[in-house]
Amino acid sequence: MPAPMADTSFAAITDEPIDRAALETFVRTDADGALVVFEGVIRDHDHGAAVTSLEYSAHPDAERFLVELAAELASETGLRVAAAHRVGTLVVGDVALIAAVAAPHRAEAFAACALLVDRLKERIPIWKRQQLADGATEWVGL
């Protein structure tokens, strides 16, 4: 994964498995009493249909947008934040997204991590196509 883009935020889009420990290490400091990590995991169903895999693709500038988003949230909250999203074909059980935030107290860590994930899903141009067990494919959230 790339090096941190700023001293308080890290963001990456990768076709390799995400190194959760590296994100946790990046956000944690001795002043933090809370570490919140969100993992988005490929599940085996969607709207009642069996899912076998998801194929993620990203806009060429998606990583730049994610870097900007992470830096923005770090600036707003005063916390260290990290997020990484995978692209390519992922199967059930694979981790597609990891977001991590550390803070002195749990409430602010939970709130910041939720905000990071919500903004990422709203603003970062990453698309997914599901492969269903019956052989059909469908784009999600377009």
Domain-embedded: residue 8: no
Q: 3-state class of 112 per DSSP?
A: helix
Domain-embedded: residue 129: yes
Q: What is the pTM for the complete model shown?
A: 0.93
How many domains, the chain? 1
Domain-embedded: residue 4: no
pLDDT at 1 over 60: no
**Contact indicator for 34, 86 with CB cutoff of 8 Å:** no
Q: Tell me the pLDDT tens digit for each residue of 4-60.
A: 445 899 999 999 999 999 999 999 999 999 999 999 999 999 989 999 999 999 999
Domain-embedded: residue 83: yes
Could you list the residue range(s) of the whole structural domain that residue 25 is in?
A: 19-140
Whichever domain contains 123, its CATH number is: 3.90.1170.40
Give Cβ neighbours of residue 117 (< 8 Å, ≥ 6 apart): 38, 40, 83, 97, 99
Give Cβ neighbours of residue 82 (< 8 Å, ≥ 6 apart): 9, 10, 11, 23, 26, 27, 70, 98, 99, 100, 101
Domain-embedded: residue 77: yes
Domain-embedded: residue 2: no
**Contact indicator for 74, 80 with CB cutoff of 8 Å:** yes
Q: Tell me the pLDDT tens digit for each residue of 126-142.
A: 999 999 999 999 998 77
Domain-embedded: residue 87: yes
Domain-embedded: residue 118: yes
